[in-house]
C-alpha cells in the first residue's frame, strides 16, 4: 500500500472514515528528523499493508488540521482508529518502536 498524501480535501475520507486504523505522519519539508522518519514510515506502510493505512500530512500546507489536533512538534506520528486519535508519538523513532506501536493499535 502506498503512503497517502493527506490534505484538507481528503482528510475526512482517508482518516476519519477509514475502515482500517490510520498512521498519520505530520511533517514538513524543512524538518531534518522528519526526513529521517519518512523512509521508515514508508517501509512500515508496505510491510503492514492490509492491517493499517499510512498517510503523510505536510503541516505547512495544512496548518488548520495540525492546529486542530494540537501538533506542536514534528515529526508527530498519530494513530487514528474509528475517527479518533488513539496514540501519539512525537519525535523521530526507529522502525522497531514504530512497529510496536502499530501492533498495539492494530491489536
What residues are annotated to the active site?
A: 31, 34
Please state the three-class secondary structure of the chain as a single string.
CCCEEECCCCHHHHHHCCCCCEEEEEECCCCHHHHHHHHHHHHHHHHCCCCCEEEEEECCCCHHHHHHCCCCCCCEEEEEECCEEEEEEECCCCHHHHHHHHHHHHC
Amino acid at each position: 500500500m502506498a503512503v497517502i498524501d493527506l490534505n484538507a480535501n481528503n482528510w475526512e475520507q482517508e482518516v476519519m472514515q477509514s475502515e482500517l486504523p490510520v498512521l498519520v505522519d505530520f511533517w514538513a519539508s524543512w524538518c531534518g528528523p522528519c526526513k529521517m522518519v519518512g523512509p521508515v514510515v514508508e517501509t512500515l506502510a508496505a510491510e503492514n499493508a492490509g492491517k493499517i493505512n499510512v498517510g503523510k500530512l505536510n503541516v505547512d500546507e495544512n496548518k488548520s488540521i495540525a492546529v486542530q489536533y494540537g501538533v506542536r512538534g514534528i515529526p508527530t506520528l498519530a494513530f487514528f482508529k474509528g475517527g479518533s486519535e488513539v496514540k501519539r508519538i512525537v519525535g523521530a523513532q526507529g522502525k522497531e518502536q514504530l512497529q510496536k506501536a502499530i501492533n498495539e493499535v492494530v491489536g
